[in-house]
Amino acid sequence: MLLQCGSRLLDLSSPVVMGVLNVTPDSFSDGSQLYSGNHLNLSLALERAEKMTRAGAAIIDVGGESTRPGATSITAAEELERVIPIVELMARELDVLVSVDTSSPDVMLEAAAAGAHIINDVRALSREGALQAAAKIDLPICLMHMQGMPATMQDRPSYNHVMGEVMDYLLARVAECEAAGIERNKLWLDPGFGFGKSDKHNLQLLQQLPQLVALGFPVLAGLSRKSLIGRILGRELDQRLAGSLALAMLAVQGGAKILRVHDVAATVDIIKIQAAVAVVNGHR
């Protein structure tokens, strides 16, 4: 399955890894390490993106606004200042697809002009002007489900049937996209693990992931280093690799095609193992 992503093609005949490149000073995981004082160190950011590319990432996802639980919004101008210089560098210097994790229409437009290939929006193009911007740039868009907003999304999330409600929301956003002139084959879906979900909700979504996959869209799963792992295993952030890999393998088995992760090399390895097992099973 070859997908046109701006000037490049993405092969989704097997699952691919999307490496996370946070360029936020308040990232829950790693973005602050790229800052010297209040300024992003572009050389360090490019070095990290290059390392993930060498490790096998097909996509690097650049995020300039923290969406961790409790995060507050920033202005489009702040996000542009963080994101556009590194997107330009990566598009010019690296053999990798560049995704931009943004909900801002201005950032979408500027990122596309800077060479980005994919837009990854945790708010599913719900901000004013986002649908129109996405239609204009004609890039693949990942639509994610989130109950509430980052600042409040973990305040007692509630569902009657979590997968059914997630699917209903995403299909409604697909219809809005099509009405705005965005082609259906440009859309990816993300159930939004950890975004307005309890541990039980997240595990139910993972168990029922084939239902979302059956809708026919590429499905992205972002489970890397989630708080869910810490609560299940009693592990701190820097001790969640095993849990992340276990969840990634379950997501692949459920049909996810894009894994958004912090630990690229290890995740590429588990995809290769899964593919080897699938080949053997196919020849029985």
Which tokens sit at 275? 């593919």
The pTM of this model reads: 0.93
- What's the whole-number mean pLDDT along residues 62-80? 83
pLDDT at 80 over 50: yes
Please give the pLDDT value at position 28. Answer: 56
Q: How does pLDDT run across 14-26, given as a tens digit for each residue?
A: 999 999 999 987 6
Distance (Å) of CA 29 to CA 22, 23, 59, 190: 8, 11, 19, 20
Q: How many degrees, rounded to 5, is the angle at CA 248 between CA 243 and CA 251?
A: 130
pLDDT at 277 over 50: yes
Give φ, ψ of 51 to 5 degrees. -60, -45
- What's the whole-number mean pLDDT along residues 227-239? 94
Domain encompassing residue 222: 2-282
Q: What is the CATH number of the domain that holds 101?
A: 3.20.20.20
Q: How does pLDDT run across 240-266, given as a tens digit for each residue?
A: 999 999 999 999 999 999 999 999 999
Which of 144-153, 170-179, 213-222 shows the lowest mean pLDDT across its residues?
Answer: 144-153
Active site residue 173: no
% of residues, the chain, pLDDT over 90: 80
Please give the pLDDT value at position 70. Answer: 65
Tell me the H-state helices in the chain.
42-54, 76-93, 105-114, 130-137, 162-179, 199-207, 209-213, 227-233, 241-253, 264-282
pLDDT at 157 over 80: no
**Following CA atoms 99, 104, 110, 116 in sequence, which dihedral angle do they give, to the nearest 10 degrees?**
10
Active site residue 226: yes
The mean predicted confidence, pLDDT, of the chain is 91
- Please pick, among 173, 197, 226, 240, the residue that the annotation labels catalytic: 226
% of residues, the chain, pLDDT over 70: 90
C-alpha closest to that of 198 among 153, 254, 157, 258 = 157
Number of separate domains in the chain = 1
Which of 99-108, 146-155, 172-181, 216-225 shows the lowest mean pLDDT across its residues?
Answer: 146-155
Residues whose CB falls within 8 Å of the CB of residue 208, separated by 6 or more in sequence, listed in order: 163
